[in-house]
A and B are shown apart, each in its own frame.
Chain A
Amino acid sequence: MSLLDQAEFADNPEPRCPVILLLDTSGSMRGEPIEQLNAALQQFDRELKSDPLAALRVEVAVVEFGGAARALGVYGEDTGKDVQFDASRAFVTADLLTPPTLTARGGTPMGEAVRRGLDLLHKRKEIYKQNSLDYFRPWMFLITDGNPTDQWETAAEQVRLEESRKGLLFFGIGVENADLKTLARFTPDNRPPLKLRGLAFGELFQWLSRSLSAVAHSKPGEQVPLPPAGWAEIAV
Chain B
Amino acid sequence: MHTIWNVVGTSIPGASHFKSLLPCQDANAYLLLENGLLIIAVSDGAGSAPHSEQGSFAAVQAATRHLYNELTNAIPETHRQWGQLLLQTFNVTRQAVLDLGQPGGRDPREFACTLTLLIADHEWLVTGQLGDGLAVARTEDGALHLIAEPQRGEYADTTYFLTGSDAGDKFWGRVYRQGLDLPPVTALAAMTDGLTNLALDKSTSQPHPPFFEPLLNFPATVTNHSYAVDELNTFLASDRINARTDDDKTLVLAARPEA
Residues A134 and B152 in contact in the complex (CB < 8 Å), given A7-B210, A223-B48: yes
Residues A12 and B234 in contact in the complex (CB < 8 Å), given A217-B246, A221-B112: no
Interface pair B156/A9, CB less than 8 Å apart? no
Which A residues between 68 and 122 are near B, CB-CB below 8 angstroms? Answer: none
Q: B225: shortest Cβ distance to chain A, in Å?
A: 15
Check A5 for interface membership: any CB of B closer than 8 A: yes
Query: In the complex, which residues of chain A have a beta carbon less than 8 angstroms from the beta carbon of B131?
Result: 220
Smallest CB gap from B195: residue in A: A9
Cα(A53)–Cα(B199), bound, Å: 19
Residues A9 and B157 in contact in the complex (CB < 8 Å), given A2-B231, A3-B221: no
Interface pair B47/A12, CB less than 8 Å apart? no
Query: In the complex, which residues of chain A have a beta carbon less than 8 angstroms from the beta carbon of B139?
Result: none
Check A4 for interface membership: any CB of B closer than 8 A: yes
Residues A10 and B156 in contact in the complex (CB < 8 Å), given A4-B232, A4-B235: no
Query: In the complex, which residues of chain B have a beta carbon less than 8 angstroms from the beta carbon of A223?
Result: 48
**Interface centre among A7, A217, A222, by most B CB within 10 Å?**
A7
Residues A12 and B157 in contact in the complex (CB < 8 Å), given A2-B235, A4-B214: no
Residues A218 and B198 in contact in the complex (CB < 8 Å), given A9-B244, A132-B203, A134-B156: no
Interface pair A219/B210, CB less than 8 Å apart? no
Residues A222 and B214 in contact in the complex (CB < 8 Å), given A2-B234, A9-B244: no
Check A135 for interface membership: any CB of B closer than 8 A: yes
Smallest CB gap from B234: residue in A: A2
Q: B56: shortest Cβ distance to chain A, in Å?
A: 12
Check B18 for interface membership: any CB of A closer than 8 A: no
How many A-B contacts at CB < 8 Å in the complex?
103
Contact with A along B192-208 (1 / 0, CB 8 A): 01000111111101001
**Interface centre among A12, A132, A133, A223, by most B CB within 10 Å?**
A12
Interface pair B202/A10, CB less than 8 Å apart? yes
Interface pair B211/A3, CB less than 8 Å apart? no
Query: In the complex, which residues of chain B have a beta carbon less than 8 angstroms from the beta carbon of A219?
Result: 46-47, 157, 193, 247
Interface pair B200/A222, CB less than 8 Å apart? no
Check A15 for interface membership: any CB of B closer than 8 A: yes
A218: contacting residue among B47, B199, B201, B235, CB under 8 A: B47
Cα(A150)–Cα(B26), bound, Å: 52
Query: In the complex, which residues of chain A have a beta carbon less than 8 angstroms from the beta carbon of B217?
Result: 3
Query: In the complex, which residues of chain B have a beta carbon less than 8 angstroms from the beta carbon of A7?
Result: 210-215, 235
Residues A6 and B246 in contact in the complex (CB < 8 Å), given A12-B197, A13-B202, A219-B157: no
Please, could you name 24 A-B residue pairs with CB atoms under 8 Å apart, sorted by A? A2-B234, A4-B234, A5-B214, A7-B210, A7-B212, A7-B214, A8-B210, A9-B244, A10-B199, A10-B201, A53-B246, A131-B203, A132-B203, A134-B202, A136-B155, A136-B156, A166-B154, A220-B47, A220-B132, A220-B156, A220-B159, A221-B157, A222-B48, A223-B48
Binding site for B on A (CB under 8 A): 2-10, 12-13, 15, 53, 131-137, 166, 215, 217-223
Shortest beta-carbon contacts, A-B, top 5: A221-B46, A222-B47, A10-B208, A8-B210, A15-B156
